[in-house]
Structure 1
Amino acid sequence: MTHQYELMVILNPEIDERQVAPNLDKFLKVITNDGGSIENVDVWGKRRLAYEIQKKNEGIYAVVSFTASSDATRELDRQLKLSEMIMRTKVLRAEEAIAMIASEKQRADEKAARKAARPAKPAVKQDA
């Protein structure tokens, strides 16, 4: 049985950005060889990391949407984690990714609503 997945990869920033897609394609052969399909490879480029990974402050982000069996997806994740050029990976089923994005948006909306509901602080009068 195949499912929709989304893979986020953070690659070593020292790699030439033009080499990101060809390097990812080598790994993605695991999916296509198993009968899966790659829908989209979106290279976001170099971004600042929220925290240091492997003594680096930047990484090259890429997001891949694909359809595959869970076995092929596990093998893809295993191979990515073994590669020295890959700093982090995260594979999510598409339904999980959509749910996660929706819950983050809801949390942000609730926070904005709470902030808007707070009474404004009264202006402080200055005595001259």
Structure 2
Amino acid sequence: MPLYEHVFIARQDLSNAQAESLVEHFSTVLADNGGKVLENEYWGVKTMAYKINKNRKGHYAFLRSDAPSPAVQEMERLMRLHDDVMRVLTIKVDEHQEGPSVQMQKREERGDRRERR
């Protein structure tokens, strides 16, 4: 099955538990349609570059999945209909990277940027 990475932003006025329950809800949607979530990460509340629906901040979440295309389309459809989800991004990847995403790594662990002068 194809591999996907999903990032979504939920409204800032949700609690952390509610935002994490959204991750679980969309994971079960994928599982019900024949896919599976390999890993999920809750990135927390972050400030956005511009306002979305009068919100300056949002709860960010990240999912790595192995699912057929119809399962991903159904999950995206339900995300777009959900009132608490503001933005959705899904990317098809050839393979998942090992370890945590770049957002969850410490600055020292990244190491792929050059030194400033």
TM-score, scaled to structure 2: 0.77
Aligned with 2:94: secondary structure? Answer: helix
Give the aligned CA root-mean-square deviation in angstroms: 2.4
Higher percent of residues as helix: 1
Secondary structure (helix, strand or coil) at the match of 1:25 reads helix
CA distance in 2, matches of 1:52, 1:97: 31
Following TM superposition, where does structure 1 have runs of at least 4 consecutive aligned residues deviating by more than 3 angstroms? 95-98
1:84 paired to 2:88: no
Give the structure-1-normalised TM-score: 0.71
Gaps of 5+ in 2: 98-112
Q: Contact (CA 8 Å) 2:5, 2:64: kept in 1 or not?
A: yes
* 1:50-97 deviation per Cα after TM superposition (whole angstroms, max 9, x unaligned): 111001110110001111000110110000000010010001112399
After TM superposition, the structure 1 = structure 2 runs for residues 59-70 of structure 1, keeping only pairs within 5 Å, are 59-70=58-69
Q: How many corresponding residue pairs?
A: 104
Structure 2 counterpart SS, 1:15: coil
Moved more, 73-82 or 16-25: 16-25
Bigger Rg, which one: 1
- Aligned residue identity for 2:41: D
Task: Mark the runs of 5 or more structure 1 residues left unpaired by the alignment.
Answer: 99-108, 117-128
Q: CA deviation at 1:35?
A: 2.1
Counting aligned pairs with the same residue, the percent is 26
